[in-house]
């Protein structure tokens, strides 16, 4: 059965003395992950298994007194003191937890801010605003805004594809010697000179490499790379578009975002193949756009690659609507005219039949009665 504890090692007059603090306090008989000594001699001890940290003070009799506890439910792998911002940084299993002096409120920097992983092993300072972070999923370079702000300006991610020994690093496996930074992982060590670590500023361009319409290659008389506009019938509405970025330094880490303007409300990230598929598009005007990032994570501005027009079916075109309206108006006109003509002819026939009755009722002037009207009504 594993036994965890904390030893106090003292070197005095050439003599080394060790004291098992775990025997003096059960809280020190635990899975200890990190230790930091304050200027006043107090010791912050980070624990594993979600037990946070404790701060102890050793009295004159070498008795440890616990004066503070914090970050309960979290694992603390590394403790870093930020003198500029008067804060402690804790490498935890939920990101970097930062606590300023005299302030109980924590600031967390995690995957939502751009870290590649929330499980943090170590924090190494490059300069006041730049830090290297080892995680369970690669290295990260964290850059903060100028001054004593804790606002994140940028985070760069580095993984196996950039030459790391593994994406997974280890607790306490870090070291800085002047400008050289070392990180140890599960299969070896990575080191680099921070002065020579720079990002390529080349911004790549992207091109369409293939277009399928209803699963069939688009028939064109020019190179697909120079295609800027296509016009399709209403039933040619299933699109499959392939694209690529001209950066071959490390193509496996190129990143893409695309959208079909007129259809997609947001940019879509592609984490596998650089391709897009759309099914049963309605007729209308669309614009296929791309944003791409090179192997260093430098993003391009949006690039409109392909204008797409899907024509409506003929019964929804303006000319068909006008023709249909004209035909309907003509039919209505002639139908009304025919109806009125028939009605007039009927009235004339009635008048022709009723005229002799009128004449019989009015043989002499002034002798007309209503009998003719009654006869007519019969």
Q: Is residue 169 part of a domain?
A: yes
| One domain, residues 65 and 164 | yes
Looking at the fold, whether 136 and 162 belong to one and the same domain comes out as yes
Q: Is residue 241 part of a domain?
A: yes
Boundary of a domain, candidates 165, 196, 227: 196
Domain count, the chain: 3
What is each CA distance from 239 to 173, 223, 270, 309, 310, in whole angstroms? Answer: 50, 18, 17, 12, 11
Tell me: do 177 and 73 sit in the same domain: yes
pLDDT in tens, 158-172: 888 778 899 999 999
H or E element at residue 353: helix 318-361
Q: In the structure, what pLDDT confidence band is assigned to residue 359 with cuts at 50, 70 and 90?
A: low
Instruction: Indicate if 348 and 306 belong to the same structural domain.
Output: no
The pLDDT score that the predictor gives to residue 295 is 67
* Whether residue 103 has pLDDT greater than 80: yes
Residue 106's pLDDT is what? 93
Please say whether the beta carbons of 372 and 363 come within 8 A: no
DSSP states along 156-216:
EEE-GGGT-S-S-EEEEEEEEETTEEEEEESS-EEEEEGGG-----PPPPEEEEEEEETTE
Section 75-83 average pLDDT = 96
Q: What confidence tens digit (pLDDT) does each residue in 223-261 have? A: 887 888 999 998 999 999 998 877 666 666 778 899 999
Q: Is residue 326 included in any domain, yes or no?
A: no
Residue 312 confidence (pLDDT): 87
Domain-located, residue 224: yes
| Average pLDDT across the chain, whole number | 84
Position 23 scores a pLDDT of 54
Domain that holds residue 362: 333-377
User: Is the domain of 192 the same as that of 232?
Assistant: no
Lowest-confidence region among 29-33, 201-205, 264-268, 318-322: 201-205
* One domain for residues 186 and 231: no
The whole-number pLDDT of residue 104 equals 85
Condensed to tens digits (0 to 9), the pLDDT of residues 277-315 reads: 999 999 999 999 998 877 666 777 778 889 999 998 877
Single out the residue of 10, 2, 6 nearest to residue 45, CA to CA: 6
Region 121-149 average pLDDT: 92
State whether the Cα torsion 368-374-376-377 is positive or negative: positive
pLDDT surpassing 60 at residue 51:
yes
**C-alpha dihedral, 301 to 302 to 303 to 307, nearest 10°:** -160
Residues 51 and 166 grouped into a single domain: yes
188 and 77 share one domain: yes
- Same domain? For 299 and 338 the reply is no
In this structure, the answer to whether residues 181 and 214 fall within a common structural domain is no
The string of DSSP codes covering 151-168 is -EEEEEEE-GGGT-S-S-
Query: Pairing mode, if any, of strands 87-92 and 106-109?
Result: unpaired
Q: Are residues 240 and 261 in the same domain?
A: yes
**Residue 325 included in any domain:** no
pLDDT at 372: 47
pLDDT above 90 as % of the chain:
44
- Residue 66's contacts (CB-CB under 8 Å, 6 or more residues apart) are 25, 27, 54, 55, 56
* pLDDT value at residue 3: 52
Shared domain check, 191 and 159: yes
């Amino acid at each position: 059965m594993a036994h965890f504890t904390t030893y106090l090692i003292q070197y005095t007059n050439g003599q080394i003395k060790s004291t098992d603090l775990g025997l003096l306090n059960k809280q020190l008989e635990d899975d200890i992950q990190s230790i930091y000594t304050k200027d006043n001699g107090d010791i912050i001890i980070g624990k594993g298994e979600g037990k946070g940290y404790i701060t102890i003070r050793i009295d004159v009799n070498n008795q440890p007194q616990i004066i503070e506890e914090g970050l309960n439910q979290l694992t603390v792998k590394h403790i870093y003191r930020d003198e500029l911002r008067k804060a402690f940084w804790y490498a935890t299993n939920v990101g970097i937890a930062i606590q300023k002096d005299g302030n109980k409120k924590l600031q967390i920097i995690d995957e939502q801010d751009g870290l590649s992983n929330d499980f943090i092993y170590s924090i190494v300072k490059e300069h006041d605003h730049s830090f290297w972070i080892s995680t369970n999923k690669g290295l990260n370079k964290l850059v903060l805004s100028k001054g004593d702000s804790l606002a994140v300006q940028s985070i760069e991610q580095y993984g196996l594809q950039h030459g790391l020994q593994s994406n997974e690093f280890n607790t306490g496996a870090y070291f800085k010697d002047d400008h050289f930074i070392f990180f140890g992982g599960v299969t070896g060590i990575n080191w680099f000179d921070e002065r020579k670590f720079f990002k390529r500023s080349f911004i790549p361009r992207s091109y369409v490499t293939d277009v399928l319409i209803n699963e069939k290659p688009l028939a064109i008389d020019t190179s697909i790379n120079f295609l800027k506009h296509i016009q399709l019938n209403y039933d040619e509405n299933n699109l499959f578009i392939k694209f690529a970025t001209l950066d071959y330094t490390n193509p496996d880490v190129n990143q893409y975002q695309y959208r079909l303007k007129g259809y997609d409300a947001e940019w879509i990230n592609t984490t596998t193949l650089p391709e897009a598929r759309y099914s049963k598009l309605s007729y209308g005007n669309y614009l296929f756009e791309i944003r791409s990032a090179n192997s260093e994570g430098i993003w391009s501005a949006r690039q409109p690659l392909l204008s797409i027009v899907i024509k409506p079916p003929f019964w929804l075109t303006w000319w068909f609507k006008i023709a249909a309206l004209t035909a309907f108006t003509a039919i209505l006109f002639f139908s009304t005219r025919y109806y009125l003509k028939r009605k007039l002819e009927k009235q004339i026939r009635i008048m022709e039949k009723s005229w002799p009755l009128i004449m019989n009722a009015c043989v002499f002037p002034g002798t007309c009665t209503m009998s003719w009207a009654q006869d007519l009504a019969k």
